[in-house]
Amino acid sequence: MKEDHGKRLFRGAHQDMEAVGGIPLTEQTAAPAYRLAFADDDFLCRDELRPVRLQLELLKPEMGLNEAGVDSTVVLFGGARIPQPGVEGRSKTLSDMSIYYEQARAFAKAVTERSIAAGGRDWIVTTGGGPGVMEAGNRGAAEAGGRSIGLSIVLPHEQAPNAYVTPELCFNFHYFAIRKMHFLMRARAIAVFPGGFGTFDETFEALTLIQTGRMEQVPFLLFGESFWRKIINFEALVEAGTIAQDDLKLFKFVETAEEALAAMDAWEGAGSKRGKIPGR
């Protein structure tokens, strides 16, 4: 509750945390039971508090993105192991795939330029915040002079967010499920580059949400047709009857950033409920 002039009528949580910090250390004040519940890490990490942690992890980035004026995003998925051109010590196959680093970089730069021209609140490039294709996406946005989002996650071998993520839009997650929600809650287009298990997981979850009508159809672009067709026989799924022929229309193959932008502009119904694509 607040008064008309905006001042709190009641003490804030930070004030009480500071007050508790100044209390003399006694047997009672040192006991875990005495800690403020919201400032007690051991309490918050208990199994029984999992629903609260899920809610907090959903809420913190949501509030941060709202406060930053992010209305919509363009999501880039792709392999963390794909290097930028010229990086030594990789297999020939991975080195050959460095073309996708450059295409992701160019695509993100072009999308961000459009975003800035339209006011900078829509079509903010969003990646998983890591290396490879993710770094390329954040890098392209930075080179265009715009902002970009990084949705990192704590892994057994922790990696720092790449240096191109906008710091105030760099979030970290414990729960894969909540992270996936944030990838798609504001998505107005999805661009997928070659990658591994994580890329496939994100790709097919998003396609399933669109296929089942749980998510509005948006431009869905698969970079590198030869890669995708080598890995997945989409037509065989149709022949087997496990997907419909029309399901193949949920995505489009592209090779370059220019093709991707053209495909987005031509996408039937793109932006119909969520604002026009910048630059159209």
Angle between helical axes of 257-266 and 98-117 (0-180°, round to 10): 50
The domain 71-266: what is its CATH number? 3.40.50.450
For 252, half-sphere exposure in the C-beta direction (CA atoms, 13 angstrom radius) is 19
Residue ranges covered by each domain of the chain: 71-266
Sheet holding 73-77, edge to edge: 170-173, 148-153, 124-127, 73-77, 187-192, 220-223, 252-254
- Backbone φ and ψ of 46, nearest 5°: -70, 155
* pLDDT tens for the 280 residues of the chain, in order: 344 446 778 889 988 888 888 899 999 999 999 999 999 999 999 999 999 999 999 999 999 999 999 999 999 999 999 999 877 767 778 888 899 999 999 999 999 999 999 999 999 999 999 999 999 999 999 999 999 999 999 988 767 899 999 999 999 999 999 999 999 999 999 999 999 999 999 999 999 999 999 999 999 999 999 999 999 999 999 999 999 999 999 999 999 999 999 999 999 654 444 444 555 4
